[in-house]
Structure 1
């Protein structure tokens, strides 16, 4: 049996919480009160660990051995790559929120792309059906509005998997955000080599990561962001960017044959110029890696956001939109999934799960 390479495509989980109905206590810093030891115990179940951390007045950010974790007062976002068992964090995080800070979960969203090496994934990630069954068994019955869907693409190896669940009293006065998840494959080899370290370079992961952030231009994607970065040995890179209450994150698997990079960011849906800001950040991120194929999943998006992303990738990056699909989900809102390729792309479209 052929040995699989490293799985770059992340699994992403977002948990939204609110005060218990009978609680009159202010939330304050909420989930940020959860002690680091408890967080580490959950990550141990997922099979990853914290390699670097940074926080501000709005949220705590952790770079993981496999991707990232963000903890807000009422929200947890965790994404992990490789063969991690991300969904094993669902029930423990819900219990921690209830027992330590008296918060109950009000909505859940799980997303991922199509794995490059699906046969290497352990339970419960062997396929999307198993993932949905696991989620159904590990979330409270109060999340009664549920939907699971695979949003297809004309490129048969690229699909977007979404599971969303919401309670019947989801707060409509929550801040509205647009989240963009960008998955890039077949990176330009010259650009990908910048994410390899020289043997015995005398640097640690933090210093090597800071150097990669500078030489690749990642620090110019959002100049306002404070960056927490880490370079792995012998190759690979992760960063979290903190810009007020908004985050961004990048993860890179640069090896030939299964090279992959992801970029994710969130902006305020109600801000007039944030569509332009988001489209510009996506353009800059794609140019850092020079991929042959790009998948973009935009959640709670306006039509204008998708049009701007489409325009900058086609006109300024020289890519062609090959597919455009959308679906609606409880709590999550509308998800638009687009795939782009370089005009000379001749990728083999092997089926993925």
Structure 2
């Protein structure tokens, strides 16, 4: 392979649990539902990551979820959902079978939805099966997922930049007609996912400003650990200013590269950087909601991200159950000197809508 594959594959799995005994009580009598967070790390999580071909390099947790920085991107474990995002030549989809198995046998959980997304690989010929093509990925997903997830759709959302096409696959059980989930006659669904879905922003950036990209290289012989070097990069680049209230777990790779997970209540954010010249890449992802007082300042977040990386090309995928977050995305990005080049929208059965936009820097002509 000519260089490291920065574009990530992202998998989001939601589960249902009808066993109330999986809760614990704190000294303040507040109930914290653990669910999937009870899975044994070495027996379940680590075994799953071995199948994917990556490892944990740093970890952090709070009252809502656990966040792991991986040798290739990130893993988030919530009580009823798991999100894995991996780059390089990892085999992400091979995590599905072990996760379904561990969730079912250890906790009695049932899978209710699956979402798989990715951009266009920089080095597609280097990807191993089942990531050899989107057709192969969809076939693998179709064969691997339980038949109860019968609402399925695969879509390639194009753009004017062939390097930023967006690939989406969703599969869900039947959702409730209303929030009266107790009377649902279908396979048990995840009330939070179907009835109070937040939005997710997935941002992919290429052709990073070379001067800014150099900030993600370690100093030769610095003698520091990946954790301490990561903390230094977080502060030096201004990443800690994207959300000053977030608790950050960061890691700097040797000789270059950077990953971080941010935790702000129940919401996560994550950044991954491959800074090498010729195939520089950075991603930023976060979630937000308009319903619970935890609304993020989309404009502020996007402007800070663009200031940190100054990409030549940028794509933003907005996944939601409705609303116009994508409009705020476009306004914020264009205010930073990038021009929208393409727009695509698609609906996915019982899984919300996806708006995919691409932007390129407006190059000033020399005098």
Compute the TM-score of the two structures, normalised by the length of structure 2: 0.89
Give the 3 Å change call, closer, same or farther, for CA 298–214 of structure 1 in structure 2.
Answer: same
Match of 1:230 in 2: 251
Query: Does residue 342 of structure 2 align to residue 323 of structure 1?
Result: yes
Equivalent residues in 2 for 1:31-70 (5 A)?
31-37=36-42, 38-70=44-76
1:273 positional shift: 7.8
**What is the Cα deviation at residue 312 of structure 1?**
1.1
Secondary structure of the corresponding residue to residue 327 of structure 2: helix
* Structure 1 residue aligned with 2:101: 95
Q: Which moved more, 1:137-146 or 1:166-175?
A: 166-175
Cα drift, residue 19 of structure 1: 1.4
Aligned partner (choices 339, 342, 348) of residue 361 of structure 2: 342
Q: Secondary structure at the match of 2:163?
A: coil
Q: CA deviation at 1:10?
A: 0.1
In the alignment, is the contact (CA less than 8 A) between 2:299 and 2:332 conserved in 1?
A: yes
1:200 aligns to what? 221
Matched residue pairs, number? 340
1:333 and 1:45 map into 2 onto residues whose CA distance is 30
Q: CA deviation at 1:272?
A: 7.2
- Which residue in the other structure is 2:178 paired with? none
Look up the match of 2:10.
Answer: 12
CA drift at 1:271: 4.8
SS at structure 2 position matched to 1:157: helix
Q: Alignment partner for residue 148 of structure 2, among 142, 148, 152?
A: 142
Contact 2:72–2:88 (CA under 8 A) maintained in structure 1: yes
Q: Which 5+ residue runs of structure 2 have no aligned equivalent?
A: 24-32, 175-185
Moved over 6 A (4+): none
Matching residue of 2:267: 246
1:330 Cα deviation after fit: 2.4
The Cα shift of 1:306 comes to 1.0
Instruction: Give runs of aligned pairs for residues 60-139 of structure 1, distance below 5 A.
Output: 60-139=66-145
SS at match of 1:279: helix
Q: CA RMSD in A?
A: 1.6
Bigger mean CA offset, 11-20 vs 52-61:
11-20
Does the 8 A contact of 2:322 with 2:352 survive in 1? no
Asked if structure 2 preserves the Cα contact closer than 8 Å seen for 1:67 and 1:79, the reply is yes
1:278 deviates by 2.4
State the shift of 1:24 in Å: 5.7
- What is the alpha-carbon distance in structure 2 between the residues aligned to residue 319 and residue 277 of structure 1? 19
Residues 159 and 203 (structure 1 numbering): CA distance in 2 closer, same or farther, change over 3 Å? same
